[in-house]
Structures are given as C-alpha cells and as structure tokens.
Structure 1
C-alpha cells in the first residue's frame, strides 16, 4: 500500500472543496430570494428619513447603544436608497467574504502548503460551520444581525491576518499602511457589539502579552492597536445610550452568576458541536497534515499551549458572558452563531499548538496506512450522517427545492406593490404563507401598534400597516 497522504494532497483537497460547494451553493442561491426583515431593518432607515442620516445615528448613540460602527452600518443599509436588491447582494458578499477569511487564515498559518490545500481547509471549516450553525438567517441574511455579529467577526479574522502579515513586510511604508489598517479593524470591531468587543480586547491582550512575556519585544504595531482599542472603548463606554440599554434590563448585571452561566452554556454547546459533526475525525486528519510539515513551517504554532488554551476558553466564555450580564438570559441563536464560529477556528489552532508542543517533547508515532484507510472511511460515513442530520443543511435545500423561498420572494414583492399602489394612509397586507426557515426572521402582525408594524409603516410613509386576519399556512 502507498501512503495515503500523498493521495490526500490532491484527492483530499478536492473532497474538501466539494464539501464547500455543497453547503455554499444553496446559500448563494437563497440570497436571490432575500428581503429586508420587518425586525429592525426598516426601522433604522425610517429614523433616517425622519431626522436625517447623521441625526439618526446620534439618536441611537445617545438613546440606545454604544455600538457606533454597527449604528453606522445599520443606518446605511440598502433601504436608504430604496433598494431591495441590495439585500440580495449583501449576503453573497458575506458568504464569499467568510471563505476568503478562512482561506487567509490557513495561508498565513501554514504558508508552505499549496493554495489548493488552503482553500480545502477553508472548505472544511465552512462545512463544519454550516452543519451546526444555529441560525442561517441570523448570520447571513438578516442585516440587523449580521452587522452586529457576522461582519465584525470576519473583520476580526482579517485583523489576525493583517497582524501576521505585518511581521513579514520589509518596506517602511507598507508597514505603516498595514498598521493603519490593523488599527481601523480594531476600531470597527469594538464598535459593533459587546461580544466582539470582548473578543478583540482578549485577542489584543493575548497578542501583546505573548510579545512582551515570551519574546521580550515591543513594536509600533502593538502600540497602534492598543491606541485604537483605547479610542474604541472610550467611544463605546462613554456612549449615553449604553446606560439606557443596560438600565432597561433588571435581570442583568450579576457578574459572578453571568460567568457561571457562560461556562455552563459553553459546556453544553461544545458537547453538541463535537458529537454532532465530524469534528474529531477532521481533527485527526489535521494532525496528519501537520505531521508532514517541517517544524520550521509550523512556526505560527510555536506558542505555549497553556497560554493559547486559556485565551481560547476565555474568548468563548466572554462571548456568552455578554448576554447573561447584559440581559440575564441565555444567548440568542445569532449570538451562539458567533461563539460557534470562533470555537471552530480556535479549535484547529489549539490542536496545532498542541501538536507542535508534543512533537518537541515526545516521540510521536506515525499513522499507519491501515489507520489512514480507517480514518478516511469513518470520516466519509460521518460526513454523510451528520449532513443528513443537519437542520441548517436540510432547511437550506428544503427551502430551495420545495419552492418555499421563491414563493416567499414573490409574496413580499406583491406586498410592496400593494403598499406603493395604495393611495390610503392605512394599508392592509396579507399574512405570509411561506416562511423559509433559512431566510425568515419575523414579520408584522395584526396589532398595528406593534413595533415592526410601526417601523415598516414609517418607512413607506403610511399612517399604519395592518396584517389581514387570515389563517397562516405551515408550509
């Protein structure tokens, strides 16, 4: 028998790309049927139309939240230009942007591997992420949510890539420009959400701590990112709206209980992510790949294991902590999306660090050809089984193949026609009969004073919008 690793360098990467295509293509097609959600998407632009763009952002900053970068993006959504198409284009950009982020991380952490291998690794991460993502709509299609969690998460990965790249640059001006980009990414992420703020601060602390404690060095990039973080934190924590938001949640504010709940929830979700996906088998394949890379090529993993592990667990717990501290309840699905994303990326890096440490301390045995065959066989079986069991994969394909997504798209366009053709100040709209799980978040209801009804009515310049009393279909 020949060493299967040689075959894996080609056939295995192709397999990984097929996994990427399998989960990515339906999500790209679903983007064509996406629409702004009645939940918040109309409200931001309604405020802009009433008070002006700058004043609307000031209103939210002083009256509701310190998320200054999220405020900027939400008040600049495509509805500002009366564009529904924009809500179909943005998910496509996010879907591809996430592939690029995974690819960039792989390329900078394992630079000696081929571009095909890096793209294949991105495919594995993407496949695993979609398998157990709690909410597709909350991560890719609902703008109010992806502005808060998805975009800053991808920007965080971008920051890691930029920092790694900075130390390989040779010209002064390239270092200056790259450092400015790193500072902007820090500033943007901190101003997006509390969970991303804590994530970025912990990453900066881990990065600077490693440089100071283990490498005994300090440089301009470190100073720059700390300064950008300080400015972002100042704008966030001094926002008048932050006190209003926190003051409206009497269940929050208990730090010890919030930490306990965060670690409890982390244990629960982690167990599900490990047992319901082929994560452990892909991890074994990852270790096999690392075993064929020279120690010098694994330099990015030459970090004390205990240091990385504590940082990893701390980041995940901090992301869950924000929900318990802020509002005193379990995190929403869109918040768990964020935790799962960082769990996956961090998991493979932590195991890379563990392998690098173990390879220096121990004489690690190689994997026999028979063991490689067994690994490939088990991996193939679990990929098939976990894909079949995946609620998100079944929802994506089900919404497409059943025609539910297309019918949802058509229903919403009919609604727009009814609103725009009506000369009355009060409009009655039919209830949605099709609610694709992968796209749908929330809708107006029969109470015209409901917040969603009022926001949508304000955006379209109507006094009130009612939903007709109809029996809703479960299709």
Structure 2
C-alpha cells in the first residue's frame, strides 16, 4: 500500500511548486503593505476619542453586529502608532490561511504525506489566486480581511478540530477541545453575515446529519448548535444591524434576494469554470482519488450520501450571496466574491471526491481501472503553467513586486506620514500617490475635508483633517 500512495510524488512536487509560485509574491507584497484610508484609520480614531471599549460599543450599537470583527479592527496596529504592523499582519494572514488549510487537509487525508498535503493546498491556492476578485481585499486591507479571510481560515481550522475531536479518547483534553471548537464557532459568527451563514449551515447541518442519517444524538454537535444560537442572538440583536439593513428599499425582500442570488451564483460558476484550468485539476484529482481511497481512514470522510454533499455545496455558496441582496439589496462586494470562490473550489473537489468514492464502492464505470498516462499528465501540467502566464492576477502581483511599484508605494506613504506629522495647522493637504499597485492600493485620501476618511486620518495624526490635493 505504501508504494501505491507514493506514486503521485511528482504530481505533489509540481503542486508544491505552484504553492511557492503563489505564496512568494504575496508574502513579498506584504512587506510593502500600509493601512488604507478606507476604515482602517477610523477604528483607531474612534478609540483615541472615546476609549477602547466605548469605541467598540459605538460600532456595535450604531453600525453592525459583527462583534468579533469589531474587536479585531479596533485592535489594529495603529492603536500603537505602528503603521508597519500592517505588513506583519498580512504576512501572518497569508501563512495562517495556508496553515489552516494544511491542518484541515492533514485531518481529512491522514494517509497523505506532508508533501502530498502541501501539494493539495498548492493546487487549491493556485486556482484561487488565478481568478480571485480582489487581492487587496483578501490579504492587505485589514477592514476586509478581518471580516472575511480571517473567519474563513478559522472555519477551516475549526473543521480540522472537529475531525480531531471524534478521534480523541474521553478525558479533559477532549473536553477542552470541545470548548475550543465552541469558541471558534463564536468567533467566526461574529466576523460577518457571510461567515455567520456558513457556520450556522455547517453546525446545524452536521447536527441534523447525525440525527437523521446516523440516528444518534450527538452531544458535541448539540453543544455547538447552542453556541451558534447564542452567537447569532448577540449578532442580530445589535441596534446597528437594524440601521444598516434599512438603508436600501430592496433589502429584506426574500423573493428578490433569492432570485438574484441564484442568478449571480450561476454567472460566477460559469466564469470560474470557463476561465480557469479547473477542468484540468479535476482530471488530475479524479486520477489521484483511487490511490487516496485505498486507505479506509480517508474514504470514511467521503462516505456520505451524494445528495447531501451536493445540497451542502449549493447551500454554502448560496448563503454567502444571499445576505448581500437581503441585507442591503446589492450584489456582493469583491471581498465577498473572494470568499464564495474559495468555498466554490473546496466544495467542488470535495463533491467530486464523494462521487468517486461512491463509484469506487459500486464499481461504477470501472473507475478503479482508470489510468492517466504520464504523457497526458505532462500536457495537463503545461496547460496549468500557461494559465498562470496569461492570468491578469499573476501578472499584477509579480509586476507590483518585481517592477518596484509596491516599493515605490511603500516609500511614498512613509514620506507622507513624516510630512503630516511635521506640517503645521489642523488641516494638512497631501499630494496624490503616484505609485498605486493594484494588489495593495485600495483608495487614496479624500479631497473633501468633511469626508469621513479625511477626518479619521486627521484624528489619527493629531490633526483635524488630512485632505488630498485636487488634481489640476
């Protein structure tokens, strides 16, 4: 059996190469990251004006119920007057997301080697970055990545903790693991409406699956349901939620929101499948699965009814789109699309694995005898490499890094900070940024002195306003 499992070595090595190709430029760009005028300064300006806890209460009662996201945003490095901390945060975020996926894959595929697990993560992240809607909102704008990327990483880690809990012997460590799993549910739900719906669906779905399919009362699953219910209560009883959801006449329209969500999901799915080498990776994945399922410890995680896998897959994608239409009546922002795409990829490969496991057990279409010659794998590998060369996202991140756009952006902002601190008066005018790397840059300061971004930046630097000079 060991020989069988070691056969995909070169494929794993190739995928690890893809992981390196993805991570190196993203980690390098993190070294040039800065806080954005959009929201990042406002959280800390509020802390400076009202105090740490009162500032969080201000946001909870006046804007949003995202209690854990509020906590994280009000704890950003600017509270220590350390803009450079945003570089470290993005660096840690990228490693944390990769690490959470790795931990989950290691639990899901215990028969895979470390190289094999890294290979699976490499292929997934390669596809993700290839077509991600916004690099900046995923990894470099704190107000966005705290709300979506961080809870996604925590969700993957939570899934790994869940799988591990069922394997632990009874005792104190198992009980503490259950408490830790409960905290992760609480944290994820408190980050955003999108992740709230994902976590509620996962927790309630697992408890229902145990109750209906396995006909057993799972106390651990029931405990997580209670934690999720309490977390949702804290989230939705926020006065800020009511104010936010009343801002658009199309909000709270269930038929409109449902129809628009299905249309948007269909459009996105066609785009992701037709404009990425997803079909290529799917072929390689199907060829790999019979070897992986040779280990019964792995196949048990995929021995679920096919209909439940498909239903869960569609449900997790749908519930991420629905809150945008239901809450504020508009299509999801790029940061939400990022999250949907990540779950689209994970769910796609998991559903394919469930189907293959079913086919293997029923000897359907002779899938156990399917064989992919090395020459075909070589052609598929070339197609993957070509897709990277033509990817706008890959050209952007490597261009911003290697052509010095990110370094110039970093230098300009450092000089701007020094200028603001030394400038006399309460209103400071700053020059527009010349370097605007698309992977890092979101929005410059505002030309209107009364704009929120102007006042927040001014408050942070001890001024009344920081205003962008108008272009001639």
The answer to whether TM tops 0.5 is yes
The farther-off stretch of 163-172 and 214-223 is 214-223
Provide the C-alpha distance between the structure 2 equivalents of 1:365 and 1:195, rounded to a whole number of angstroms.
Answer: 37
User: Helix, strand or coil for the counterpart of 1:428?
Assistant: strand
User: Helix, strand or coil for the counterpart of 2:429?
Assistant: strand
Deviation at 1:367, TM superposition (A): 5.5
Deviation at 1:310, TM superposition (A): 0.6
Give the conservation status (yes or no) of the 8 Å contact 1:288–1:367: no
| Counterpart for residue 229 of structure 2 | 230
Provide the C-alpha distance between the structure 1 equivalents of 2:108 and 2:370, rounded to a whole number of angstroms.
Answer: 26
State whether structure 2 residue 11 is matched by structure 1 residue 15: no
Taking the TM superposition and a 5 Å limit, the aligned residue runs for 1:22-41 are 22-41=21-40
Give the unaligned 5+ runs of structure 1.
none
Taking the TM superposition and a 5 Å limit, the aligned residue runs for 1:377-396 are 377-396=378-397
| Counterpart for residue 172 of structure 2 | 173
Taking the TM superposition and a 5 Å limit, the aligned residue runs for 1:237-316 are 237-292=236-291, 293-294=293-294, 296-297=296-297, 298-316=299-317
Provide the C-alpha distance between the structure 1 equivalents of 2:7 and 2:281, rounded to a whole number of angstroms.
Answer: 13
| Counterpart for residue 437 of structure 2 | 436
| Counterpart for residue 146 of structure 2 | 147
Provide the C-alpha distance between the structure 2 equivalents of 1:452 and 1:406, rounded to a whole number of angstroms.
Answer: 24
Q: Mark the CA change 1:228 to 1:427 in structure 2 (over 3 Å): closer, same or farther.
A: same
Provide the C-alpha distance between the structure 1 equivalents of 2:390 and 2:194, rounded to a whole number of angstroms.
Answer: 29
| Counterpart for residue 182 of structure 1 | 181
Q: Mark the CA change 1:366 to 1:296 in structure 2 (over 3 Å): closer, same or farther.
A: closer
Deviation at 1:392, TM superposition (A): 1.4
User: Helix, strand or coil for the counterpart of 1:465?
Assistant: strand
Taking the TM superposition and a 5 Å limit, the aligned residue runs for 1:27-426 are 27-292=26-291, 293-294=293-294, 296-297=296-297, 298-363=299-364, 364-366=366-368, 371-426=372-427
Deviation at 1:130, TM superposition (A): 0.7
Deviation at 1:326, TM superposition (A): 1.3
Deviation at 1:109, TM superposition (A): 1.3
| Counterpart for residue 462 of structure 1 | 463
Give the conservation status (yes or no) of the 8 Å contact 2:8–2:288: no
CA offsets 1:417-442 (integer angstroms, 9 cap, x no match): 01111232111111101110000111
Give the conservation status (yes or no) of the 8 Å contact 1:303–1:353: yes
Structure 1 segments, 4+ long, off by >4 Å, are 4-8, 366-369
Cα RMSD after superposing both structures: 1.6
User: Helix, strand or coil for the counterpart of 2:367?
Assistant: coil
CA offsets 1:23-61 (integer angstroms, 9 cap, x no match): 110000000100000000000000000000000000111
Give the conservation status (yes or no) of the 8 Å contact 2:310–2:351: yes
Give the conservation status (yes or no) of the 8 Å contact 2:456–2:465: no
User: Helix, strand or coil for the counterpart of 1:365?
Assistant: helix
Give the conservation status (yes or no) of the 8 Å contact 1:125–1:344: yes
User: Helix, strand or coil for the counterpart of 1:466?
Assistant: strand
Provide the C-alpha distance between the structure 1 equivalents of 2:59 and 2:470, rounded to a whole number of angstroms.
Answer: 34
User: Helix, strand or coil for the counterpart of 2:332?
Assistant: coil
Provide the C-alpha distance between the structure 1 equivalents of 2:367 and 2:175, rounded to a whole number of angstroms.
Answer: 45
Q: Give the structure-2-normalised TM-score.
A: 0.96
CA offsets 1:356-378 (integer angstroms, 9 cap, x no match): 11222234234665x43354133
Provide the C-alpha distance between the structure 2 equivalents of 1:267 and 1:248, rounded to a whole number of angstroms.
Answer: 27
Deviation at 1:393, TM superposition (A): 1.0
The farther-off stretch of 69-78 and 290-299 is 290-299
Give the unaligned 5+ runs of structure 2.
none
Provide the C-alpha distance between the structure 2 equivalents of 1:452 and 1:85, rounded to a whole number of angstroms.
Answer: 20
Q: Mark the CA change 1:115 to 1:71 in structure 2 (over 3 Å): closer, same or farther.
A: same
Deviation at 1:463, TM superposition (A): 1.5
Q: How many residues end up aligned between the 2 structures?
A: 467
Q: Give the structure-1-normalised TM-score.
A: 0.95
Give the conservation status (yes or no) of the 8 Å contact 1:65–1:241: yes
Q: Mark the CA change 1:75 to 1:191 in structure 2 (over 3 Å): closer, same or farther.
A: same
